Amino acid sequence: MRLFRIRNLPVVPAVVIASCAFGAMTAPAALFAAETRTPVAPPFWAGKPDSGGFRALADAELRAARESLDRLLQIKGPRTIENTLAPYNEALLHADNAAYASSLIESVHPDSTVRAVAEEETRESSKFLNDLGLNRAVYDAVAGLDLKTADPNTQFCVWKILRDFRLSGVDKDEATRKKVAAIREELVTIGQDFDKNIRNDSRTITLEKDDLEGLPEDYVKAHPAGPDGKITIGIEYPDFFPVISYAKKADVRKRLLHEFVNRAYPANMPVLDRMIAKRAELARLLGFKSWAEFATRDKMIGNDKNVAAFIERLRGLTLKRAQEEYGTYLKRKQQDDPGATTVNQWDRRYYGELIRKRDYNFDAQQARPYFPFDEVKEGVLSSTSKLFGVTYKRIASADVWDPSVEAYEVWEDGRMIGRFFLDLHPRPGKFNHAANFGIRNGVEGIQIPEAALVCNFPGGKPGDLGLMEHGDVVTFFHEFGHLLHSVFGGHQRWEPISGIATEWDFVEAPSQMLEEWCWNAGVLQTFAKNEKGEPIPAEMVEQMRRADWFGRATSIAYQNLYSAISLNYYNRPAEEVDTDKILRDLEPKYTPYPPMPDSHFQAAFGHLDGYSAIYYTYMWSLVISKDMFSKFDKSNLLDPGIARRYRDTVLAAGGSAPAAKLVHSFLGRDYDFHSFDEWLAGEKAGSTPGRGPTGTSAPR
């Protein structure tokens, strides 16, 4: 699933991970900088601000950021870490606090007037950050630092700051910088429109009672007919996925999928065109051939040609196998419909379930009763607590933006090391995917990390157990992995290297690796229990693991298609981009399934805003995650020993060194494709399952 979101590529010197929050509201950060322990400011939402209160908080953060910058610029004489890097760090932290909180609140607040103010504040803080990225005087000040005696983390941090300044265009002439600033500002609004159109388009279909044939009993019960005898089904995940997986009638699946893949259509088509055109223009101004070339420059992969080659490599690995799988789907479908000549996209999940039942003796519906929402939530918390040696304390009295939201503190050795919120069920106007939103980037001595998990899981209503699909459980672990990365990595001295500040094409790896824990019987049995309190049988988990192999090539093929779409919208002159046509041309190259007629998937492909050209990052990270997982003891996944070493070498390091170096120190060697290739082939005994990234906007 999607991650956490990142808005607008190098927004600033520091890559801004879409989240943010209000920083130390109690006192100027500088007062704390010398302390060894991080002072604990109230949580960002303390006092439950209304729209005016929220504006005041965000503005106060931006004011504090401006004051820090003024202090930095007033210095005469030699530039030092204390008189230059420290105030720069504070400026960034305060501005990010404003940006992160605004990005979260515009996506989750139940009151649309508060969301609207948050949108304005997102624009304000983005403008501040973009202007900062183009501020030549600040750049010169940081570039003038004498780092000879600085520690390696500080040296790396400054290298990164200066690189990002240059990527922002700080060394261009003034006229160019003005144009860059204007386009960036425009891109923020375009991105907000794009996301808002997706968020606010909630479509439904109406069905007769017998249209729900094949659906689990609890689902049918939770969807009673209205006074007119009709049943309404929406495209939000808890409604959508069971229907697309289990509904017997093909027409019902087709109708719902049709609404799903046309979300935000036609509203987002011109918005997307503008987004692509503006980014292409910006990339050219910054001296790059295309936005894709620009967007890959600071990633592990290095450039857009390498992305194309990586996508091609995956195509070679998956297409033939996906075609074989297609043949299996078709044969199974022909049992029901002897005249069938194609398998449609609305058939894939449905027949996938039937084939897994027939050939692998695994019935996903039999697994659901073991995954009631509350048990799963406890399971995520208890297993990660055991694994990483931390304690979570629920703060029932904490202020939250919706009554369904829960607040927690993370404790270790008598010290609070982070805070988080869980906002896990759908409601109108809320972000409708799954993501970890950062709120405050932790900086040792200044503020502790804070984050929010925003998902759309079943449950949360009285009388509804909220039985989850196993895929939901995977999503939950995945997103929680991002959250833990931000907590464990959030204790650096400098904000630009703190939390999830690693290369973007590595950020999914820790989360993808944590998914493995929900394919392990020993782990699942600690929490996956049915109403009678019986744990999920180990044989069922084993069957589930084996069954998961079927359809794997197809699912990776689709992920690869999304990577190709994302790259190809952004790797050419905007005049040559017809988003419908590129999608239609690419689809048959990557998957054997006929395109969904009359559909415009790209209109709700939210990553085209946040990730732009770099959807490949999910697959790139997956390769590394499989390699890292090879170091763990599968017979005792909750063993804290290796987990501690992983936490220390990879997670806690945040962005203080290149990801490849962190992975090397964990693995004792460079990462490679070996484990990934084995996983894809699925032939090695005990090979781990897994799926594509959580966070795809598509139901495939």
> CB-wise, 92 or 424, nearer to Zn ion?
424
Q: Which amino acid is at 114?
A: V
> Minimal CB distance to Zn ion: which residue?
3
> CB-wise, 365 or 511, nearer to Zn ion?
511
> CB-wise, 290 or 486, nearer to Zn ion?
486
> CB-wise, 283 or 452, nearer to Zn ion?
452
* Cα angle value 560/563/568 (rounded, 5°): 125
> CB-wise, 3 or 422, nearer to Zn ion?
3
**Nearest-angstrom CA–CA distance, 692 and 558:** 9
**Nearest-angstrom CA–CA distance, 474 and 469:** 9
Shortest separation between residue 693's beta carbon and Zn ion, angstroms? 6
**Nearest-angstrom CA–CA distance, 491 and 651:** 11
Shortest separation between residue 618's beta carbon and Zn ion, angstroms? 7
Shortest separation between residue 390's beta carbon and Zn ion, angstroms? 21
Shortest separation between residue 695's beta carbon and Zn ion, angstroms? 5
> CB-wise, 104 or 252, nearer to Zn ion?
104
> CB-wise, 511 or 566, nearer to Zn ion?
511
- 206 forms beta bridges with 232
**Nearest-angstrom CA–CA distance, 100 and 94:** 10
> CB-wise, 508 or 587, nearer to Zn ion?
508
Shortest separation between residue 98's beta carbon and Zn ion, angstroms? 24
Shortest separation between residue 18's beta carbon and Zn ion, angstroms? 12
Shortest separation between residue 106's beta carbon and Zn ion, angstroms? 20
Shortest separation between residue 470's beta carbon and Zn ion, angstroms? 17
DSSP labels, 264-327: TTTTHHHHHHHHHHHHHHHHHHTT-SSHHHHHHTTSTT-SHHHHHHHHHHHHHHHHHHHHHHHH
Q: Nearest-CA neighbor of 349 among 592, 555, 583, 589?
A: 555
Return the range that interacts with Zn ion (CB under 5 A); candidates 3-11, 185-193, 347-355, 406-414.
Answer: 3-11
**Residues near Zn ion (CB under 5 A), total:** 3
Q: Nearest-CA neighbor of 118 among 379, 430, 548?
A: 430
Shortest separation between residue 633's beta carbon and Zn ion, angstroms? 25
Quote the tokens at residue 305: 């040609």
Q: Percentages helix, strand, coil for the chain, rounded to the nearest 5? A: 55, 5, 35
Helix (H, G, I), strand (E, B) or coil at 121: helix
Q: Nearest-CA neighbor of 502 among 487, 478, 519, 486?
A: 486
Q: Does 117 bind Zn ion (CB under 5 A)?
A: no
Residue 103: its H or E element:
helix 86-108
Return the range that interacts with Zn ion (CB under 5 A); candidates 2-10, 334-342, 362-370, 415-423.
Answer: 2-10
Q: Does 3 bind Zn ion (CB under 5 A)?
A: yes
Shortest separation between residue 482's beta carbon and Zn ion, angstroms? 6
> CB-wise, 2 or 545, nearer to Zn ion?
2
Neighbour-count burial for 221-246, b at 16+ CB within 10 Å, e otherwise: ebbeeeeeeebebbbbbbbbbbbbbb
> CB-wise, 139 or 476, nearer to Zn ion?
476
> CB-wise, 295 or 513, nearer to Zn ion?
513
Q: Are 612 and 360 in contact (CB under 8 A)?
A: no
Q: Which amino acid is at 502?
A: T
Residue span 485-524 as binding mask against Zn ion, x where in contact by CB under 5 A, dash where not? -----------------------x--x-------------
568: CB partners within 8 A, 6+ apart = 582, 586
> CB-wise, 494 or 676, nearer to Zn ion?
676
- 682 forms beta bridges with none
Q: Which amino acid is at 579?
A: T
Shortest separation between residue 163's beta carbon and Zn ion, angstroms? 25
Count of Cβ atoms closer than 10 Å to residue 286 Cβ: 20
Q: Count CA within 13 A, CB hemisphere, residue 12.
A: 26
Q: Count CA within 13 A, CB hemisphere, residue 79.
A: 21
Question: DSSP secondary-structure letter at 640?
Answer: H
**Nearest-angstrom CA–CA distance, 629 and 650:** 13
Shortest separation between residue 629's beta carbon and Zn ion, angstroms? 16
Shortest separation between residue 621's beta carbon and Zn ion, angstroms? 8
Residue span 356-375 as binding mask against Zn ion, x where in contact by CB under 5 A, dash where not? --------------------
> CB-wise, 495 or 508, nearer to Zn ion?
508
Residues that bind Zn ion in the complex, under the rule CB under 5 A:
3, 508, 511
